Amino acid sequence: MIALYLCPTLHCPHLVQLGAGVLSHLARGGGVVRVFRPIVAEATGDAVLDALAEVAGQDPTAAWGATAQELLANPTAAVGQVISRFRACADGADRVLVLGSEYDCSLAPVEFSWNTRIAANLGVPMVLVVPSDGGPGQTRARIDVALDEAGRNLARVLAVFVPTPEQAVDVGSVGVPVHAVGDALPARSLADALTALDATSIGSGPVPARAGAVVVADMTLSNLLPQVRDDSVVVFSADRAEIGVGLAVAGLSGTFPYPAAALAAGPWPLADGVTEVWARAAAGIPLLRTAQPVEVARLAFAAHTAPGRIDAAAVAQAERDLRSAVDLDALLALAARGRSDVVTPLMFEHRLLEEARRANQHIVLPEGTEDRVLRAADRLLAQRVCRLTLLGDEAAIRARAAKLGLTLTGARIIDPETSDLRDRFAARYAELRAKKGVTLEQARERVADVSYFGTMMVLEGLADGMVSGAVNTTAHTIRPALEVIKTRPGISVVSSVFLMCLADRVLVFGDCAVNPNPTPEQVAEIAIASAATARQFGIEPRVAMLSYSTGSSGAGPDVEQTKEATRLVRERAPELAVDGPLQYDAAVDPDVARTKMPDSPVAGKATVLIFPDLQTGNNTYKAVQRSSGALAIGPVLQGLNKPVNDLSRGALVSDIINTVAITAIQAGMESA
């Protein structure tokens, strides 16, 4: 799939025209073409999206991500929703036009920043649309600011479109192509709206033919001013003289743009002082008057200045105009060829949930009475991530879930104390542990424990994997698995990794949770297992064997152990890209790597980092997590015959969800 994110940096009255031209060209390649708008002002309708969805032959109700209010209320949840809805919209499509928002809602001051963050999380390259109304100097400044913001938020920008009738835009080199794309949109019918309102001019200059955003001043002046643009029409109640005076005076500061026009609405008399101040301060900006109420004025502008329907002839002309200014084929080829390698935490989490959903596995959660587990189970079931069994007293679990406002629809609940499976599991456990002297009665008592019961469910194929540890210790989670599930053939040690989701990539850290002082043989085994885990989650393994020394710069028993472990990895898995000993900075920083290990296939670009001991690994993952804000997913256990994963007793609901998703993915790969 090829996708482009067409994003204005300020309000853009040309967006329908530009979007129609891009869509028309995308359709030339055949296949399914769709449009998607991540942010809309309201869920009830979006004129620009409606117009372009019609061009694409698409239902607009399924073509948007989140409202501005949802983004303000809970940004993380809203961006996650945008990702989910984008994936659903793009499913089965060959090309998708993603449409940035238009700065006419409550997000306006930070709207562009949110668009760049969303573009990074969608992995869709951007084409920025930058207005040229302030001349080349201001246009260049706007481009520089926009590119800087996009870079900070890890968004990839392919080009800049500047809607202008000029043949070229003289802004110098900015690092990406800048195209003058014309100004062919028909003027929005401001005159028709004013005629419908029986509005008259009472001050300053002539009424412009074009209107951009219509801003209704139902807020304080301090909140209004950041939303005013050079092409805005500001509608304010005639009894609020401070708005008219404030707009006029603000323009004198040079900090805020003048609006295209201001309209005082309502049956109340307009204070004389307003027109006097306006005449002195707002030179050339029309002040208009209507007796109609503000709400009627808003509706009139919406009806007469909305983009509306764009017919086939206009679409064809839009494409011709755009192709005359831009090599669209080259732009699309660049979008397809140079995909971003940025992987954000939200992007990775969403991929985990998608992969788990496709795997369709059954996971048992032994700690069914724990509130965090119940909340996680409710969300996992609602999102159909996997099938779930909760262990514990059913009445108690149902009662607690109801108190928390949870439904647990679709969950199976089993009480190990009273389950018919108890005797079956006891007999099987006694058989497996007979050499250890375990009697049937002892086995029956032991399998009543939720960790043992859940492990037996996995062993007997009644569940595909288990997640525990929110309440119980790591030992309590792992011991039953070691006793009955056991390690894979050829594996001598169970180990763990953390998936460290940094701002722009995902690294694998191992072992950070299980083995205190592994031997070189065990470190090598951990490295090979960690590389396999990385592949399971779409991470190309480049393995760095870590030490306090890089290459031959240091010596000592610890360095020698790392060298030996590296040698064993190369011997046992010659296909792996592995190097060591490496210091952490040489492993992940390309600049340091060029100095210390210029010929290394791993240095500077390692994705799997293997620590020499538990003390180093555990402290490093926590240091990275806390100092960089990285999302740490894990520990993910590796080496067992069937997936069992441990939680931190401080695990958040999101941690439990991620670990369940990982377990489901592991189980799916085992059964494939």
Ranges assigned E (strand) in 239-381: 261-265, 287-290, 362-365
Task: Determine which helix (DSSP H) or strand (DSSP E) holds 498, and give its type and residue range.
Answer: strand 495-501
**35: three-class secondary structure by DSSP:** strand
Bridge partner list, 543: 578, 608
Which residues are CB-neighbours of 380 under 8 A, at least 6 positions away? 386, 388, 657, 660, 661
pLDDT in the model for residue 233:
84
Of the candidates 224, 194, 200, 213, the residue with the CA atom closest to the CA atom of residue 109: 224
| Cβ atoms < 10 Å from Cβ of 140 | 19
Which residues are CB-neighbours of 222 under 8 A, at least 6 positions away? none
Phi-psi label, residue 485: left if phi above 0, alpha if psi -120 to 50, beta otherwise:
alpha
Phi, psi of 449 (to 5 degrees): -70, 135
Which residues are CB-neighbours of 633 under 8 A, at least 6 positions away? 349, 352, 498, 499, 500, 501, 655, 658, 659, 662
Q: Which two structure tokens, joined as six digits, stand for 43? A: 């869920």
Low-confidence ranges of the chain (pLDDT < 50): 185-188
CA distance 387 to 364: 9
Would you say 521 and 589 are in contact if contact means Cβ atoms under 8 Å apart?
Answer: no
CA distance 581 to 566: 7
Query: C-alpha 324: how far from its chain's center?
Result: 35
Q: Judging by beta carbons within 10 Å of its beta carbon (0-12, 13-18, 19+), is residue 30 exposed, middle or buried?
A: exposed
Would you say 101 and 39 are in contact if contact means Cβ atoms under 8 Å apart?
Answer: yes
For 77-102, b where at least 16 C-beta lie within 10 A, e where not — what string?
ebbbbbbbbbeebbeebebbbbbbbb
Q: Which two structure tokens, joined as six digits, stand for 181? A: 């794309």
State the pTM of this model. 0.72
Would you say 518 and 613 are in contact if contact means Cβ atoms under 8 Å apart?
Answer: yes
CA distance 523 to 512: 12
CA distance 365 to 374: 9
Phi, psi of 26 (to 5 degrees): -60, -35
DSSP 346-408: HHHHHHHHHHHHHHT-EEEES-TT-HHHHHHHHHHHHTT--EEEEES-HHHHHHHHHHTT---
CA distance 437 to 416: 23
Task: Determine which helix (DSSP H) or strand (DSSP E) holds 181, and give its type and residue range.
Answer: none
For 316-336, b where at least 16 C-beta lie within 10 A, e where not — what string?
ebbbebbeebbebeebbeebe
Q: Which two structure tokens, joined as six digits, stand for 382? A: 């609602």
pLDDT tens track for 544-601? 999 998 877 767 888 999 999 999 999 999 999 999 899 999 999 999 999 999 989 9
Mean pLDDT of the chain: 87
Task: Determine which helix (DSSP H) or strand (DSSP E) holds 59, and give its type and residue range.
Answer: none
CA distance 432 to 370: 30
Q: Which parts of 74-134 fold into alpha helices (H)? A: 75-90, 111-122
**271: three-class secondary structure by DSSP:** coil
Q: What is the dihedral of CA 307, 309, 312, 313, to 10 degrees?
A: -50
**441: three-class secondary structure by DSSP:** helix
pLDDT in the model for residue 187:
44
Would you say 217 and 237 are in contact if contact means Cβ atoms under 8 Å apart?
Answer: yes
pLDDT in the model for residue 314:
78
CA distance 465 to 641: 10
pLDDT in the model for residue 38:
95
Phi, psi of 460 (to 5 degrees): -85, 5
DSSP3 helix / strand / coil % (the chain, rounded to 5): 45, 15, 35
**442: three-class secondary structure by DSSP:** helix
Bridge partner list, 6: 99, 127
pLDDT in the model for residue 185:
46
Q: Which two structure tokens, joined as six digits, stand for 383? A: 């999102």
